[in-house]
Amino acid sequence: MRSLKAEPRYLQQAGQRRVTIRSRSNGGRRDPAPSRLAFRLQRLWLTPFVRAFTRIGVPVFVVTLALGLWLGDEGRRADAMAKLEDIKLSIQNRPEFRVSTLTVEGASPEVEQAVRAMLPVQLPASRFAIDLVAYHDTIARLDAVKDVSLIVRTGGALDIKVTEREPVILWRTPSGIEMLDEIGHRTASLTRRDARPDLPLIAGEGADAAVPEALQILAAAKPILPRARGLVRMGERRWDLVLDRDQRILLPEENPVQAVERVLALDAAEDLLNRDFTRLDMRNADRPTIRLSAPALAQYQAISAGALNSVKVSQ
């Protein structure tokens, strides 16, 4: 009896024929499907980061490594720096970058001479050899200079426009006389007071810090300026207006201009400033005080004593 698991003969022959046909149709070639490693490499290549690193990062790394190795030699590095410096100098010394002339506008002869002396190079020179920022700052530090501008024009001309400070008042100090502008900034020094008789005079410690107030007081005292010797700063708090004939008006710490206007009103009404006094104290607005000179005080006492005796006699 034949086993049930045994295949019929004709089926075994058919299976052999199918295997033979498949092997013939394949022609003995490899399976075209990629291997697992090739598949993973292809997927990795499709990643944007890997593609960018391969196309850009790797060449940059190679070039950098080559430069590092080449510049690692001190002699080659020095030669490269020397060649770069020569190229830089050849460009900077071209005629179109050359400065040949220097013009200074708006400056007095003394300031113009100082500005020209401060130029760090001798002309003609390359504009790259002139540090314009440092040159500007050096000129701006001059006491007489309020503002300055520098312009390099086509054709090799360096134009400097200077705005000077205008002195409006003189400040007497232990070391000499200084000219100040409207905000109290020093402009220059004087050796003699009569060199600028047109400018008023102030004195005292800290007077330069209160120049705007001093100018207001002098403007209010314009009717008596021919008699004014100047203003003296007292205790860095207030002013004394000094007149000729050794007379002095003591102004308050607050509202000194109003005190001056009141003095002018009293002078217009009672001819106050022509009297023989040494001090007119206006620090107390409710009670001005006057101090007579010695001769005037003696005369006043004599008149008062005579008047008192006449009263006693009449009694």
Does the pLDDT value for residue 198 go beyond 80? yes
Which domain-ending residue is among 164, 189, 210? Answer: 164
pLDDT confidence of residue 24: 47
What confidence tens digit (pLDDT) does each residue in 251-266 have?
Answer: 999 999 999 999 999 9
CATH number at residue 190: 3.40.50.11690
Cα of 168 vs its chain's centroid, Å: 24
Same-domain pairing of 134 and 205: no
pTM value surpassing 0.85: no
Which domain-ending residue is among 164, 198, 215? Answer: 164
Same-domain pairing of 110 and 152: yes
291 or 1: which carries more pLDDT confidence? 291
The 3-state DSSP class for residue 128 equals: helix
- State the Cα–Cα distance between residues 189 and 176, nearest whole angstrom: 7
Name the amino acid, one letter, at 197.
Answer: P
Same-domain pairing of 294 and 182: yes
- State the Cα–Cα distance between residues 150 and 170, nearest whole angstrom: 31
CATH number at residue 123: 3.10.20.310
Does the pLDDT value for residue 3 go beyond 50? no
Same-domain pairing of 183 and 287: yes
Helices (H) and strands (E) in the chain, counts: 10, 14
Which domain-ending residue is among 110, 137, 164? Answer: 164
| Mean pLDDT, residues 189-194 | 91
Is residue 112 one of the residues assigned to a domain? yes
Is residue 28 one of the residues assigned to a domain? no
Task: Please say whether the beta carbons of 249 and 220 come within 8 A.
Answer: no
Does the pLDDT value for residue 92 go beyond 70? no
pLDDT confidence of residue 128: 83
Report the percent of the chain where pLDDT is more than 70: 84
Helical axes 58-71 vs 74-92, angle rounded to 10°: 100
Is residue 290 one of the residues assigned to a domain? yes
Same-domain pairing of 135 and 214: no
Same-domain pairing of 241 and 126: no
- For 135, the domain range is 95-164
Burial of 306 (0-12, 13-18, 19+ CB in 10 A): exposed
| Mean pLDDT, residues 90-105 | 81
Tell me how many domains the chain contains: 2
74 or 187: which carries more pLDDT confidence? 187
| Mean pLDDT, residues 134-151 | 94
pLDDT confidence of residue 232: 97
| Mean pLDDT, residues 77-95 | 76
Task: Please say whether the beta carbons of 228 and 241 come within 8 A.
Answer: yes
Is residue 73 one of the residues assigned to a domain? no
Range ranked top by mean pLDDT from 59-73, 112-126, 229-243: 229-243
Is residue 200 one of the residues assigned to a domain? yes
Is residue 137 one of the residues assigned to a domain? yes
10 or 150: which carries more pLDDT confidence? 150
Report the percent of the chain where pLDDT is more than 90: 49
Same-domain pairing of 215 and 288: yes
What confidence tens digit (pLDDT) does each residue in 274-313 have?
Answer: 888 999 999 998 888 999 888 877 887 777 666 545 545 4
pLDDT confidence of residue 8: 55
Is residue 10 one of the residues assigned to a domain? no
pLDDT confidence of residue 254: 93
Write down the mean pLDDT value for the chain.
Answer: 84
Is residue 15 one of the residues assigned to a domain? no
- State the Cα–Cα distance between residues 221 and 173, nearest whole angstrom: 23
